[in-house]
Chains A and B, each alone.
Chain A
Amino acid sequence: MQRAGMMTAGTAALAAMVAGVITLAPAAAQTKKEAPLVTTGDAAARPWKRYSGWPTRDESKWSTLAKVASPPPPKPEDVKKITGPITGDAKKGEELVADRNRGGSCLACHVMGPAGGANLPGNVGPDLSEIGAAGREDEWLYNYIYDARVYNAETVMPPWGSHGVFTDAEIRDMVAFLKTLKSPAKFKTVLDDPNKRPAPVEKRENLDPMENPGMWAVDKAQELFKQASAKGSCASCHSDPAKEFKTWAASMPKWEPRLGKVLGVEEFVTRHAAATTGAQWLMETDDNRTMSVYLHFLANGAPIAVDTQSADAKAAIARGKELAERKIGELNFACTDCHGKAANHWIRGQWLGEPKGQYDHFPTWRTSLQAIWDIRQRFQWCQVNIRADELSPDAKEYGDLELYLAAQNDGLKLSVPGIRH
């Protein structure tokens, strides 16, 4: 898919800087001339258009990684007073807790007795199969669904009522259902029990082109590397890519003072190609992904070693950490909710990994989608999933977040392209 580009300004001037072989040493050793980059314009399509096939809900009123917009959390005194016992429709409540079109279903995080046929529930939250016998008051149950933050500021549970996902009447129906739950869940198979389900292990040979179609990008990239654009090809300057890029990708992303943001491999490719060969390789287009796979592939086996020590890097990592902890979207999740507090648990049938191990295989082949995804696309998908608007792939916030993630993967050896579901 080709997207209209905007990056043409300044390419001629910068191209004049290209002479001989450009050495792209890791940041710490970079004393030679800097790699030419187009420092104006965007590195991705504008306006950014969400991928077709992704959810199209308008989430503009919620916080994103670029803005804080969601209403502030309630205070303990904001508990909704419930007078008298809740008498909702327990049958409707049972349907609601398993309705994936609404909340994403309570079963994503909780085992809930017979709800949804006890089919692959998750275990991020407590097992609620006996909540009806736990002596909880109706008001407590109601408020825990409406906005659990009134009882627990650290909760990862979405504020279903405050964010308007479920109505008052629907929450009452769910409470009525919860009150019927008094005996442990019966699972049809051991895989349905999230506490017994074995953690997934990826055993496929990701570097075997017979197993991983992502590897085909490596062949394509070698042609692309030699393919002349307006002012030559990559090979015009880089005569021995295998040697020159042996560790380069493992040193990325890094702070780029000329742009005032953190650049990952993909944005670097866009801006460097535009400045040198004139190729228009916007982020998240096929050619860009192909080159990113290749440049990572050449650094396979190199331990991830990003700059975390310079003042700029430290500041970027601090910003990245803050972004990772920001609650965003209608479901009000922070990166650290799922991949910190709830890491190594199941959300429905999906395993929530911890940050370490989530970076060394990107870009990766997605077998379920028959496509290569780079890390920025993975970030975007995470956000759309939790009902937050994604940012453009070249957003500076993603740069900070990527550096923070890479720093947590320090020392892991690159193995790209990965292969994942």
Chain B
Amino acid sequence: MADTPKIRVPKTAKKGEIIEIKTLMPHIMESGQRKDKDGKIIPRKIINKFVAEFEGKPVFSATLEPAIAANPYLQFNAKVEASGTFKFSWTDDDGTVTTAESKIEVA
């Protein structure tokens, strides 16, 4: 029952339109700087990389650092010329990659 990523991509767009994409990944983003009750460092566990692709081609990517708050929210724009699928992936420190997809119809 892991939390799934939330994404907002318009279902349709005009050719050449600049669309807004919103993504939110539920994640604790443990910085590795905090200590627990016994004074031991809580190990770092963050999403360190985010990539957005359109039909296999990179559109936007980000390297995330430990200072980023829980549940990282990223909003960016993309220009669409044809119908296709956006694919998003989030890479965890432990190697887990979570992905999500969204189709867009371009008229």
Q: Which A residues are closer than 8 A to B by beta carbons? A: 209-210, 213, 216, 219-220, 223-224, 370
Q: Label chain B's interface by main secondary structure.
A: loop
Point out which of A210, A223, A370 has the most chain B C-beta atoms below 10 A from its C-beta: A210
Sorted nearest first, the 6 A-B pairs with minimum C-beta distance are A209-B6, A216-B3, A210-B24, A220-B1, A210-B6, A223-B1
In chain B, what residue has the closest Cβ to A286?
A: B1
Q: How far is the CA of A370 from the CA of B24 in the complex (A)?
A: 15
**Interface residue from B1, B3, B73 paired with A210 (Cβ < 8 Å):** B73
CB <8 Å contact, B22 and A213: no
Residues of A within 8 A of B26 (CB): 213, 216
Residues of A within 8 A of B31 (CB): none
Q: Label chain A's interface by main secondary structure.
A: helix
Q: Does any Cβ of A come within 8 Å of B4's Cβ? A: yes
Q: How far is the CB of B3 from chain A (nearest CB, A)?
A: 5
Residues of B within 8 A of A209 (CB): 6, 24
Q: How far is the CA of A209 from the CA of B23 in the complex (A)?
A: 11
Q: How far is the CB of A23 from chain B (nearest CB, A)?
A: 29
In chain A, what residue has the closest Cβ to B70?
A: A370
Q: How far is the CA of A219 from the CA of B70 in the complex (A)?
A: 19
Given A216-B26, A370-B70: A210 touches B8 (CB 8 Å cut-off): yes
**Interface residue from A210, A219, A223 paired with B22 (Cβ < 8 Å):** A210
Chain B positions 1-18 with a Cβ under 8 Å from a chain A Cβ: 1, 3-4, 6, 8
Q: How far is the CB of B22 from chain A (nearest CB, A)?
A: 6
In chain A, what residue has the closest Cβ to B71?
A: A213
Q: Mark B59-87, 1 if CB is under 8 A from A, else 0.
A: 00000000000110100000000000000
Q: How far is the CB of B35 from chain A (nearest CB, A)?
A: 15
Chain B positions 77-107 with a Cβ under 8 Å from a chain A Cβ: none
Q: How far is the CA of A219 from the CA of B26 in the complex (A)?
A: 13
Residues of A within 8 A of B71 (CB): 213
Q: How far is the CB of A254 from chain B (nearest CB, A)?
A: 30
Q: How far is the CB of B68 from chain A (nearest CB, A)?
A: 15
In chain A, what residue has the closest Cβ to B8?
A: A210
Q: How far is the CA of A224 from the CA of B1 in the complex (A)?
A: 8
18 pairs, A vs B, C-beta closer than 8 Å: A209-B6, A209-B24, A210-B6, A210-B8, A210-B22, A210-B24, A210-B73, A213-B26, A213-B71, A216-B3, A216-B26, A219-B3, A219-B4, A220-B1, A220-B3, A223-B1, A224-B1, A370-B70
